Chains A and B, each alone.
Chain A
Amino acid sequence: MSSPFTPLLASLIRHRGVTGCMVVGEADGMIVDSSLQIGINGDAFAALTASLYRKARRAAGAAGFGEVGFFELDADGGRMCAAGRNDLVIVVVAEPRVNVGLLRVEMLKALEAFA
C-alpha cells in the first residue's frame, strides 16, 4: 500500500548507509509510512524518536533558539537523523558511514512535502 510519502521514503532509502526511514506523527509517535530493513523495530524506534524530537524542540524553544531544523544522534553503531514540520517527523536510521551532509539536504528538501 502506498501513501503520499512513499516516493519521499524511496528516495531516502536509496542513500548509501541508510537502513531505514519513516514518517512519524510527532504528537503520537505512530508510524505514518516507513521503509525499513529487517531487524529494525519500527514501532519502538518511531515512538522513542518522536519523543526525543518533541523534547529537543521544547528544549530549543525554552532556550530561545526557535524551531528545530534538523536533529542528529550519533551512536557507536549508527546514526539517527530527524527533521519535522506540521506535526510530522522524517526519521532516518543509518550506518556511521552515511554522508550526513547529503542526507540533511535531502531531508530538509523532503520537508517541503509536509507544508
Chain B
Amino acid sequence: MRLSVAENWVEAPLKQFVDEARVQLAVLLNPSGQVLGQYGFASSVDVMTACALAAATTASSAELGRQVDGRPFSGLHYAGKVRQIFLGQVPMGTSSLILLTVFDSESSLGLVQLFFAELCASIAVIVPPDAPSTPALGEDFERELNRNLSVMFGRS
C-alpha cells in the first residue's frame, strides 16, 4: 500500500499515524471534501467517494452535536463485525481538517484515538502559515479536487 499526498506537509504526520496505529485505510481531507493525503486506497474514485461521505458525515454529526450539546461532536466511531471506522476532526488554526480511517482487529479504537491525538499535535506544529484556513468551494472546487487526485494517483 502506498501513501500519497497532495500537500507535502501532511506526509510525515499521516505516515506516522498509519505506521503506528496499524490502520488499513486513512484519508485526510478538508471540510469541503478535498483530499490532502491518503493511504490504502486503490483508486481516485474510491478516495473521492470516501471524502464526500466523510465531509457530509462530519457536517451532519457536527450539527447534531450543536443541537444536542451546544457544540459540534468532534469524533465518530462505528464498529462493524470485521472493520471499524473512526472519523475525527484535526484542528488547524481557525479551521480544521478531517481524518477518516478504517481499521480491523490489528488495531483498536484506543490505539487509533491515541495516535490520532499525536497526529493532531503534529499538524498543529507543522501547518504552514499559508495553508488555506477555509476550504475552497465554488468554481475552483472541482479543479482543485481533480488536481489533488491527479497528484496522488498520477493521472492528468
Residues of A within 8 A of B (CB): 24-25, 27-30, 43-44, 46-48, 50-51, 54
Nearest CB on A from B113, distance (A): 7
- Give the residues in chain B near A27, CB-CB below 8 Å: 105, 108
Is B129 part of the binding interface, using a Cβ–Cβ cutoff of 8 Å?
A: no
Q: State the CA gap A43–B113 with chains docked (Å).
A: 9
Secondary structure dominating the interface of A: helix
Is B114 part of the binding interface, using a Cβ–Cβ cutoff of 8 Å?
A: yes
Which of the four size classes fits the interface of chain B? Answer: under 10
- Give the residues in chain B near A30, CB-CB below 8 Å: 109-110
Nearest CB on B from A43, distance (A): 7
Of B79, B105, B113, which contacts A47 at CB under 8 A?
B113
Q: State the CA gap A25–B110 with chains docked (Å).
A: 9
Residues of B within 8 A of A (CB): 79, 105, 107-111, 113-114
CB–CB B105/A51 < 8 A: no
CB–CB A50/B108 < 8 A: yes
- Which single residue of chain B is at the shortest CB-CB distance from A24? B110
Provide a sorted-by-A list of 5 A–B residue pairs whose CB atoms are within 8 angstroms: A29-B108, A43-B114, A47-B113, A48-B114, A51-B107
- Give the residues in chain A near B113, CB-CB below 8 Å: 43, 47
Q: Which of A28, A46, A51 has the most CB of B within 10 A?
A: A28
Of A24, A25, A44, A54, which contacts B114 at CB under 8 A?
A44
Q: Which of B107, B109, B110 has the most CB of A within 10 A?
A: B110
- Which single residue of chain A is at the shortest CB-CB distance from B114? A47
Q: A28-B108, A30-B109, A43-B114 are in contact. List 5 more A-B contacts (CB 8 A).
A: A28-B109, A29-B108, A29-B110, A47-B108, A48-B111
- Give the residues in chain B near A51, CB-CB below 8 Å: 107-108, 110-111
Q: State the CA gap A27–B110 with chains docked (Å).
A: 9
What are the 4 closest A-B residue pairs judged by CB atoms, nearest first?
A29-B110, A47-B110, A29-B108, A28-B109
- Give the residues in chain A near B107, CB-CB below 8 Å: 51
- Give the residues in chain B near A24, CB-CB below 8 Å: 110
